[in-house]
Each structure stands twice: as C-alpha cells, then as structure tokens.
Homo-oligomer: A and B are copies of this chain.
Amino acid sequence: MQSAMELYVERGFEQTTAAEIAERAGVTERTFFRYFADKREVLFGGASELQRIVLEAIEAAPTEASPVDAVLAGMFAGAERIGGNRDWSCQRAALLAANPSLMERELLKLSALGEAAADALRLRGVAALPARLAAHTGVSVFSIGFDTWVGADPPGDFAECIRMALAELRELTAAS
C-alpha cells in the first residue's frame, strides 16, 4: 500500500504499473494481485474498517433517535476515524480527483456504505425506502463535508465540516 501510494504520487496512477509497485515492495506482480483485486483497490484498504465503525455507531444509537440522527451518528463516528491525518486525506483526494477510474471506485465504496447503513436502519425497524433515503443523504453530507475539509481553508476539523454541511442542508429543505 505504501509503495503504491508513493508511486501514484510520484508519477501518476496510470503511469504506474502493477509490476513497479510489486518491485518496490519487494514481491512479484502475482503476489500483488493476491492481496489486491486490482490496481485501484490498493488505495481503499481502510474502506471496510470505516464501514464497520459507521455501522456499529448506527446500531449503538439510542432507540428513540430518528433515522437521520442514527445515520449521522454513524457518519460522525466515521469522521472521527478519518479526521486524524488530514495530509494523507488531501493527498488521496488529489489522486482521486485526477483519476476518474479511482473516483469510480470511491463512489462505489460510498454507495456500498450507504446501502449498508440503510440495512442497519432497517434492523432498527425503519422501512426500506426511508432507510435508503436517510442513509444516502447521510453519506452525501459525509462526502461533501469531506470535500470541504480537504479543500482550501476548512472551517475546522472533519466533524465541523460535516456539521456545516448539515446546517446548510437543513436550511435548504426548510426553504423548499
């Protein structure tokens, strides 16, 4: 993972071959593909852990919490996990922004996170449609908050960026 990140930053994602990553890591190309399904997946090692944290927080939310609040609890828990190393997040975000194929993978992971969160809501007794709506709305706020956080002069830490997006969203829905 470290070798790949270095090479992607040094010479770009498409200009880096799997063989080169493997060589820098001291293994064969075949071994690389035993650990990562494809060249992109190497940047998404933390996705499953993030999902686990989010889901656990949703489950742990108070029973009386609304679907949206439960999802938000999950998102804040996820933000706490990521919010530590902003530099790494910025570097990674720049890579994704420059490579549509990496962005595709990111969007797939976020969508999967949304579906998993919707499942968690259903376990709390929420119906299918509102569960998906609440979950994906939460992921949107998470994602847009993330963009704010890794952008120029963020208003605070990751959680604060999420709160900011959330406040904007509430204002928007009130105005409509």
* Nearest neighbor of A140 in chain B, beta-carbon distance: B136
Contact A176-B133, Cβ < 8 Å, known A103-B108, A108-B100, A108-B107: no
Q: How far is the CA of A111 from the CA of B140 in the complex (A)?
A: 11
Copies of this subunit? 2
Do B176 and A69 touch (CB < 8 A)? yes
Q: How far is the CB of A136 from chain B (nearest CB, A)?
A: 5
Residue of B with least CB distance to A69: B176
9-residue interface stretch from A6-14, A54-62, A74-82, A162-170: A162-170
Interface string of A123-152 (1 = CB under 8 A from B): 000000110111011001100100110000
Interface residue from B132, B133, B164 paired with A129 (Cβ < 8 Å): B164
Quick check: is A50 within 8 A (CB to CB) of the other chain? Answer: no
A residues adjacent to B (C-beta < 8 A) = 66-69, 100, 103-105, 107-108, 111, 129-130, 132-134, 136-137, 140-141, 144, 147-148, 164-165, 168-173, 175-176
